[in-house]
Structure 1
């Protein structure tokens, strides 16, 4: 058989060291969406146990269910924030390797547990586990996300080749602050419950400041320029 034919019929059985990030992003988006949707299952008028109620009774029942509604809103909003962080990070990550895939799997494990830990908060907020496990759940997700981003954004791995050194430093610092803040929230929740989540507002202040600082980077393309390039 000619050498050219031998070359054409040969296949490479080695798995590539890195893969496109598209499949990971699609899978992650789906898991976040499902977890956020499942949260609403904790809200049901069946728990009111009302038959032919008056307006006053309905208002009273709604008032009694207010803690459940607050837990739903808090969990939904924080999931949205975590998804937004994931989206911004993977705008830069073009390739992923086995480590990134594994870390992402463990992070999504924490995401899908959020509806369960939210239910614990609803039902047992008068106990330490009921107050503590939901913030601990978010601490786990944030910490794995921090680990994943520090790994993926490393300049030596070339998984995010267009990430500037300036933005890399700012985003890593912001991820670290989020990790520390989530630990503080988890500890504070033992005593003050869901009110501890208000501390995450401080992290949003840092995040906004970092994004404004990143925009000052020399040579940084505007959004219109990036759209025109794409």
Structure 2
């Protein structure tokens, strides 16, 4: 058995560092010629625009994942060996998000970059879903359902992104915008799901 609060502290630290590292790739390269006129600076900033979408998506995914983690509560203070080990696997893939974000930002139109990025986020969603299943004595409130459905929507949008990358590699990333509709999916599910 392991104290859950120690895993939570490690998780908070890794999310804080991961979210901070994301921004490091948003910089104008040193070899970029920026003259004294404002237009050259604006052109250099505009050249960074392909990196902003992966940055914003990654920040959103990490932020939403962290918020979901702190809301998924357990009545117990200890977790089993399986939960602890899968937590480390989960955190391994969280720490890879800055790498896959940089890769996506630099090689937006490449299939491999899109697949690696979407797969990274998808594995984070999948392991988070598994962790919810391993959480000892969870509080199964409304947030519990919201989180599980949101993780499934995230996983589905990652699979769609990977499939679309072979057809429209430069635009496939927009499939991740489906996550903005996760709340609607939850409301529809609640309305039509059997009670109990």
Q: Structure 1 stretches of 5 or more lacking a match? A: 1-17, 153-158, 214-230
Relative to structure 1, the CA distance from residue 77 to residue 135 in structure 2 (aligned partners, 3 Å threshold; closer, same or farther) is: same
CA contact (8 A) 2:72 2:144 kept: no
Distance 2:150 2:130 in 1: 13
Task: From 124, 127, 139, give the equivalent of 1:144.
Answer: 127
Aligned to 1:45, the other structure's residue is in SS state coil
Deviations 1:159-207 (CA, angstroms, capped at 9, x unpaired): 226x248775665455444433433343334432321221111224335
- Structure 1 or 2, whichever has the larger Rg, is 1
Distance 2:51 2:142 in 1: 42
Q: Is residue 197 from structure 1 mapped to residue 176 from structure 2 by the alignment?
A: yes
TM-score by length of 2: 0.82
Offset of residue 89 of structure 1: 1.1
TM-score by length of 1: 0.71
Task: From 103, 124, 133, give the equivalent of 2:86.
Answer: 103
Q: Structure 2 stretches of 5 or more lacking a match? A: 192-196
Deviations 1:16-61 (CA, angstroms, capped at 9, x unpaired): xx33310010000100111111111101123561243311111111
CA contact (8 A) 1:95 1:160 kept: no
Deviations 1:83-136 (CA, angstroms, capped at 9, x unpaired): 111111146563211100010000011000011111111121121012221111
Task: From 29, 35, 60, give the equivalent of 2:12.
Answer: 29
Task: From 145, 148, 159, give the equivalent of 1:183.
Answer: 159
Number of equivalenced pairs: 189
1:1-230 maps to which residues of 2 (within 5 A)? 18-47=1-30, 49-90=32-73, 94-152=77-135, 159-160=136-137, 163-164=139-140, 171-190=147-166, 191=168, 192-207=171-186, 209=187
